[in-house]
Amino acid sequence: MVGHVEAAHEERQGLTGMERLSLRVSEMINHPIAQLQRWVTIARLDSDGDREWDEVLGILADTDELELSHNDDGSVTVRWEEPEKKGRPGVDEWEQDSQVATDPWASDSRSAPF
């Protein structure tokens, strides 16, 4: 078990500052709770360099689906809307199934449907 922890630590040390920050921000945005509430607050860590922080915020700001709010404490709150769904999930499938499904005995009462 210790070997796995050491390997993970070495792998993390091999990442650039930009890669670490991008990975952390991505994990925060994709977290199930953030996805349910459709917002997350990202705080800058002491290990985040100025250039990396500005670059990640620039990428987020350039993403049309995201809205950024800069907080007084230096953190940034990222918000997004729920993506539009085509049709009505569950209802459309049910309507299609009910249109396709017919009584197999109604078409020809002399033969079995199997």
For residue 25, the one-letter residue type is V
- 81 within some domain: yes
**Average pLDDT for residues 73-81, to the nearest whole number?**
96
Range from 14-23, 68-77, 94-103 carrying the lowest mean pLDDT: 94-103
Find the helix or strand (DSSP H, E) in which 93 lies.
helix 91-100
How far is CA 43 from each of CA 6, 24, 62, 100, 102, rounded to the nearest angstrom? 27, 10, 19, 53, 58
Q: Is residue 107 one of the residues assigned to a domain?
A: no
Domain membership flag for residue 94? yes
Number of domains in the chain: 1
For 3-45, the pLDDT digits (tens) are 555 555 555 568 999 999 999 999 999 999 999 999 999 999 9
Residue 48 pLDDT class (50, 70, 90 cuts)? very high
Distance between CA atoms of residues 45 and 94, nearest Å? 49
Residue 60: which residues within 8 A CB-CB, separation 6 or more?
Answer: 25, 66, 68, 76, 78
